[in-house]
Amino acid sequence: MNKQVLTGNGLMVQKNLPDQRKSSPFSLRNLRYLLSLLPLLLLFLGGQTMSVGATQPTVYYGVHVAGGVQDIATVATFERNAHKAASIVMWYQGWGLQDGTQNFEPTWMNAVRTHGSIPMVTWEPWLYVQGTNQANFSLQSIIDGSHDAYIVQWAKASKAWGHPYFLRFAHEMNGFWYPWSESANGNKAGQYVQAWRHVHDIFTALGVKNVTWVWSPNTEFAKGTALKGLYPGASYVDWVGIDGYNWGGVEGKAWQSFAQVFRQTYNDVTALAPGKPLMIAETASAEQHGNKARWITDAFTVQLPKYFPQIKAVVWFDENKETDWRAGSSAASQAAFVGALASSRYAANVYGKLAISPIPAPGR
C-alpha cells in the first residue's frame, strides 16, 4: 500500500509498503505519544519545559520586593501581577543588626528554594540606621578580623544548608554612600579588595562550596571610584553585577534610556572581568519626565537580547523608595512589564533542585 513515512532527515516521502498496522510493534502514533511525555520527563529531572518554537531561557529574571523575603507571599503577589514567577529572589541582610536577622536564615533560604527560585543575599557590612560613617564597620575593621566570628558563623551555617545561592557582598563599592566605600568612613585605596579577599578566604578555609560570589558595582559616574582598583580578581569572583537606574528627573538626575544607564559600565566590566557572567543586580525606572512603559519594553525586548549579550540575569528593584520604582507604578508600566517578561528568554522559577555551584548561566 502507499504510505507517507518519515525519513531520517525529517522529510515525508511516499513509499509502497506492506500494510503493517497489525504486525508492527511501533507506529507513528506510539512515537507521538512518547514525545508527548518528554516535557513531563524534563520537569521530573528538574529541567525547563518550553513550548514549541520557544527559545531556551538565557537570562535569569529576578526581583527584590519591599520588605524583603520574610514572607514569600509578598514575592508571590509581585509574580501574579507580572504573570511570571521569578527565577531569582533577592533581599538585603546587614551585619549590624542584633535581632537575629543579621544571621544566615535557612528558613528564608528554604522558602525561596521551595518556591523554585534561586536565593540572592545582598550582604551589607553596616548598621543601616547609622549612615555612612561607622568606624566599627570600616574596611580596616574587616581586614583586621574584628568581624571574623560573625563571618565564620555565617559561613558554617551556609555550608550546613548546602544548596547554591548568590552572595552579593558589599555592593556599589565605587560610590560614596556606604561605609565600605573607599572614599568614605576613613577607608583607604586598596582596602576594599583586601576586605573582600579576607571574607572570601574564610569561606574557602572552612570548605564552603555552595556560595556564588557576586561583585556588584554601581554604574560608573564622574565622582565614583575607578573600578579597576576595586576588583578582587578572577579567583575571588564568580559573577559580576551592575546596579543602575533611570532616575528620570528624581534628585535632579536626567532621564536615561537603558543603554545610556548601562553601556559604559558594561563595556568596562566585560574588559575588566572577561569570561565572567554578568547580571543587572538592581534596576528600575522612574515615571517622571519620560515614558516608563516604553523604557521597560526597550530594556527587555531590544537592549538586553540584542546589545548586552553577556548579561545572564536581571533583577528588578520593586520598591517605592526614592521614587516609585515598582513595575506596577502605573497600569501602563505594569502592562509593559508583563509583555516583556512573557518571553521565554527570561527564566522562571524552575530551580528548586539546582545543585551546581558556582551557579551557571541559564542553559549551561
Per-residue model confidence as pLDDT tens digits over 201-229: 999 999 999 999 999 999 999 999 999 99
Higher pLDDT, 190 or 37: 190
Domain ranges across the chain: 2-36, 59-347
Dihedral (CA of 358, 138, 101, 327) sign:
negative
The whole-angstrom separation of Cα 160 and Cα 143 is 25
Give the number of C-alpha atoms closer than 13 A to the C-alpha of residue 119, restricted to the C-beta side: 31
Per-residue model confidence as pLDDT tens digits over 55-85: 789 999 999 999 888 889 999 999 999 999 9
The domain made up of 59-347 is a member of CATH 3.20.20.80: yes
The overall pTM is greater than 0.75: yes
CA distances from 280 to 31, 219, 333 (A): 43, 10, 19
Phi, psi of 266 (to 5 degrees): -55, -45
**Mean pLDDT of the 144-148 span:** 98
Per-residue model confidence as pLDDT tens digits over 245-270: 999 989 999 999 999 999 999 999 99
